[in-house]
Amino acid sequence: MKHPGMTNKVYNIPNDIFEWSEDNFKRVSKIIQKYPTSRQQSAVIPLLDLAQRQNSGWLSKTSIEKVAETLSMSYIRVLEVATFYSMFILEPIGENFVQICRTTPCWLRGSDKLVKVAREISNAKLGETSKDKKFTVVEVECLGACCNAPMVQINDDYYEDLDESTFKKILTDLKNNKSISKGSQIGRQASHHERGKDA
Amino acid sequence: MPTITIDNKKVEFENGMTVMQTCELAGTEIPRFCYHEKLSIAGNCRMCLVEMVKGPPKPVASCAMPAGDGMVIKTNSQMVKKARKGVMEFLLINHPLDCPICDQGGECDLQDQALHYGFDKSRYDENKRAVKNKHMGPLVSTIMTRCIHCTRCVRFSTEIAGVDDLGLLGRGENAEITTYLEKTIDSELSGNVIDLCPVGALTSKPYAFKSRPWELSKTETHDVLDGIGSSIRVDTRGKQVLRVLPRINEDTNEEWINDKTRFAIDGLSRQRLDKVYVKENNKLNTSDWNTALDRIKDEITNRGKEKTITLSGKFTDAETVISSKIFSHALGSNLYDCRFDNAQVIHGESESYKFNSSIQEVENADAILLVGSNPRWEASVLNARIRKTYINNNCKIGIIGPDLNLNYPYHKISKSLTGLNDILENNSEFSKILFNAKNPIIIIGTSAINNDQGESVLKICANIAKKLPNFSNSFNPLNILNQDISRVGSLELSFVNQYFDGDLEAKLKEKIKKNKPVVFLLGLDEISPKSLDGSFVVYCGHHGDVNAQYADIILPTPAYTEKSSTYMNIEGRVIQTSRCHNPLGEAKEEWKIFKVLSDLLECDIKFNNLNDVRKKIVEHNKNFLEIMKTSNSSKLSFASKEKLEEQTISYNISNFYMNDSISRSSETMAKCTNEILNKVKYS
């Protein structure tokens, strides 16, 4: 299965330059200050995350090197961390990174159908980016929201209690830049019973 | 002392030891892949599992488990045997069955341990994973599918070599060892990862598909390519040296050797002088020993016996030095010297050219002052020790000389020799560190003393050394780091002439202009041929390097793998090399040449065989009596307070990889120069 976060390759765009944005530069020094003086390299994970957010959701060669330079680490040490965690994406991805849970509870509740819908709308294979650069769809293992299965994660948010039609609507709205509602799509609160807290 | 029971055998151990180390005390061998004595503990191969009685219900990794008082350990119980078989099976799941074409075959830890501890058949039907091979430079060849992810190479490069080049990317089945974007490993010690790799993933590129270990004859000897005299094993087949491996010697090289020692050996079969050459009509023609020696006899007689000059080179052994010295004396000449790089000494003071504190003492230092020395290139394994001291002892290092790319941080004191004035007066930041340290040492490189102020530098450093807190009757913190194996031995046999003090080449030119004498070059290529104009040059050496082509007569001699000879390393340790194979062509040892010449010239020199020569060495200097022993004294009877004048230091090595006649002839070293130093990209 292809997953842009589970590769050991470094993607390089020629002549690409990565510099911290002004806001993020302030954040960098705040993050580093959280760690003891001789242990500031521990900030590598939050800084990689910050770089990934600034670089439209993925880490380029230059952004990895920038993090290494910021923390006076060698490039290979930062790359080790970036390749270890699948949440650090190492290839360019679409605007919406759709992660469809396929572990047993979601699968029993119809995650296969969600994959089919996602592939139809994005018109791209799993792990690849759609032509309009709107979507990158991947299958992932349990995201820990099993009681609201089936669920998907799109960028930072969970979308739960899905079925084919609600998921189709979410993706179409995203494609047309319309706003969508996060969380359960049937109005469930947290992981309560479908009929409410006291049912 | 706490005790531990290993397989019903009680052993006492020191606190802080691991279960694996106590097992070794008890004489029980524990199989392992990732654990290595000199590296940090990783505990990821799980091969060293043992059973702990009344411990956890599962086996424990003995390499990472601290031994405790009263522990009972079983290393051959059913549980352990089953655990080892299981681990072995997992390791072999993705390991290719390519032993017949693998260079590690026959000396492979995985092969041996699979035989002893593994299953006899595979239960695995799935596809094995395949991993792309990585480029790591001209020395290390990679077949990454064979890698079992022990991470020894990563830990070596990070901890010992001090270059953060290697890393483990990804995880689980996708884990891969690589350098960042497949860049070349930028270390002088990179070859050691080949020895460390327990499988055939990292192998030697120049040695690839050359030979099987059981075909080689192995000789234990010493390296001569730097001043350390590292203990090595030379593997030969016929008259060809196929590889060099390090031997463990805690006094000098620990367990490592540098890449020049390991890979310059292909230079031993290139550009060799294997015949006698005599120059006629400005052209060197092959000849025979009798003609050449007769000609030398005539020239010496005609040009004046007492005017003969002898200069030794980088690899000149004590036997050659003593026989040529005796020969010169018999001719009535004392014009000989070994200081071709102009490194000054104080005559009669052995402390002015030795590494007095001993190499091992570097590990206890807590402040090191480097004066005009680039230890990374001058003595790479010593540099690894300095780095170790920096890590374990929080040692502070200060440098007088231009900036260097060392693999540890250092204080920049001054680019000029005047930095020493400030230190003597306790006037600089680093001088306070140095004088307040408990165990400081000073290391002087030859780049600091190869000028007219050389003697003053030695004297001022001696003055500083005397003021250091650890200077005592038994310890001398003043060290001189010579770059060549020949230097200390030649100086111990006083193969110097005060006439050549200051600037050897200029004085040599002057003498030659006046006398037009016969000049013997004992493998010396480090002085410019122009300074020899007008003389009759006899070149005794093994490589057709710079000076051989300007010689009037070339006498071939054996290289360091082809004769047994005695050297003194930088700290004055007597080392004796062994003959690994017969000399190439017509080469003859230098002492034989001088013996025959003396007979022709009818001046008697009293030795007839190698034993006699060695007796003469000991007669000249008792320090040569015991092999592998040092003879250091801590008297410092020279010192001065005179101020040094402004003089910027420039390091005298411009290329680590091609620094002597052997490595200059080596193709591998030429590749290293291109790829590592000149950063030419591979295609």
Which residues of chain B are within 8 Å of residue A10 when distances are taken between CB atoms?
181
The nearest CA of chain B is from the CA of A130 a distance in Å of 26
Q: Look at residue A163 and give its three-state secondary structure.
A: coil
Compute how many other C-beta atoms are within 10 angstroms of the C-beta atom of residue A41.
16
Distance between alpha carbon B276 and the CA centroid of its chain, in Å? Answer: 31
User: What distance in Å separates the CA atoms of residue A159 and residue A173, rounded to the nearest whole number?
Assistant: 14
pLDDT of amino acid B330:
95
| Domain ranges across chain A | 1-92, 96-184
Q: Which value does ipTM take for this structure?
A: 0.91
> Please, which residues have CB within 8 angstroms of residue A145's CB and are 6 or more apart in sequence?
A101, A151, A158, A160, A191
Q: Is domain A96-184 given the CATH code 3.40.640.10 in the classification? A: no
- Find out whether B584 and B239 touch, Cβ atoms under 8 Å: yes
Cα–Cα distance measured from residue B9 to residue B27, given in angstroms and rounded to the nearest whole number: 10
Interface subset of A 56-95, CB within 8 angstroms of B:
61, 73-77, 79-80, 83-84
Name the residue among B164, B170, B178 with its Cβ closest to that of A74: B164
Count the residues in chain A.
Answer: 199
- The whole-number pLDDT of residue B682 equals 61
For the beta carbon of residue B125, count every other beta carbon within 10 angstroms: 5
Buried b (16+ CB within 10 A) or exposed e, B173-199: eebbbbbbeebbbbbbbbbbbbbbbbb
B170: contact with A, CB 8 A cutoff:
yes
% of chain A at pLDDT higher than 90:
92
Percentage helix, strand, coil for chain A under 3-state DSSP, each rounded to 5:
40, 10, 45
Q: Which residues contact A193 (CB under 8 A, 6 or more apart)?
A: A199
CA distance B360 to B386: 10
Interface of B with A in 178-217 (CB under 8 A): 178-181
* Cβ count within 10 A of residue A16: 12
The domain defined by A1-92 folds into: Arc Repressor Mutant, subunit A (1.10.10)
pLDDT of A199 over the 80 cut: no
- Confidence category of residue A2, pLDDT binned at 50, 70, 90: confident
What pTM was computed for the model? 0.94
Asked if A76 and B166 come within 8 Å (Cβ–Cβ), the reply is: yes
Cβ atoms B558, B239 nearer than 8 A: no
Residue B272 is given by DSSP the state B
Using CA coordinates, name the residue in chain B closest to A5.
B170
Count of CB atoms within 10 A of residue B570's CB?
Answer: 28
Domains A1-92 and A96-184 agree in fold? no
Residue B166: closest CA among B198, B189, B200, B146:
B189
Which residues in chain B have Cβ-Cβ distances shorter than 8 Å to A77?
164, 167
Residue B243 contacts residue B254 (beta carbons within 8 Å): no
Q: What is the model's pLDDT at position A197?
A: 79
Q: Which residues of A touch B169 (CB under 8 A)?
A: 8, 79-80, 83-84
Asked if residue A150 has a cis previous peptide bond (ω within 30° of 0), the answer is: yes
In this structure, are residues B467 and B476 in contact, taking their beta carbons and an 8 Å threshold?
A: no
The 10s digit of each residue's pLDDT in B222-232 is 999 999 999 99
Asked if B157 contacts A67 with a C-beta cutoff of 8 angstroms, the reply is no
Verify whether the Cβ–Cβ distance B166 to A8 is below 8 Å. no
- Among the partner-chain residues A6, A10, A80, the one whose CB lies closest to the CB of B167 is A80
Mean pLDDT for the stretch of residues A50-70: 96
Residue range B620-679, pLDDT digits in tens: 999 999 999 988 777 888 888 888 999 999 999 999 999 999 999 999 999 999 999 998
Query: Tens of pLDDT along B313-327?
Result: 999 999 999 999 999
Q: Can you give the three-state secondary structure of B148-162, one letter per residue?
A: CCCCHHHHHHHHHCC
Residue A107 touches chain B, beta carbons under 8 Å: no
CA distance to partner chain A, nearest, from residue B183 (Å): 10
Q: With CB atoms and an 8 Å threshold, state whether A84 touches B171.
A: yes
Q: How far apart are CA B536 and CA B637, in angstroms?
A: 40
Torsion of CA B160, B161, B162, B166, to 10 degrees: -110
Query: Which residue among A6, A8, A74 sits closest to B176, beta carbon to beta carbon?
Result: A8
- A30 CB neighbour count, 10 Å cutoff: 10
Give B-chain residues touching A83 at CB under 8 angstroms.
169-171
Residue written as token pair 């540099």:
B383
3-state secondary structure of B575: strand
From residue A81, give the alpha-carbon distance in Å to each of A8, A37, A58, B73, B149. 11, 21, 14, 37, 16
The three state secondary structure string of B198-231 is: CCCCEEECCCCCCCCHHHCEEEEEECCCCCCCCE
Query: Which residue of B180, B183, B185 to mutate against A (max A Cβ within 10 Å)?
Result: B180
Spatial separation of the C-alpha atoms in residues A148 and A161, rounded to whole Å:
5
B338-384: pLDDT as tens digits:
999 999 999 989 999 999 999 999 999 999 999 999 999 999 999 99
Tell me which chain B residue has its CA closest to the CA of residue A73: B164
Contacts 24+ apart (CB under 8 A), A182-191: A182/A157, A182/A158, A183/A157, A183/A158, A183/A159, A184/A148, A184/A160, A185/A159, A185/A160, A185/A161, A186/A161, A188/A148, A188/A160, A188/A161, A191/A145, A191/A147, A191/A148
What parts of chain B have a pLDDT lower than 50? 683
Question: Which residue of chain B comes nearest to A80, CA vs CA?
Answer: B169
Burial of A54 (0-12, 13-18, 19+ CB in 10 A): middle
Q: Which of A6, A8, A9 best tests the B interface by mutation, with the highest count of B CBs <10 A?
A: A8
With beta carbons under 8 A apart, name residues in chain A contacting B165.
74, 76
Q: How far is CA B327 from each of CA B290, B301, B479, rounded to the nearest angstrom? A: 18, 14, 32
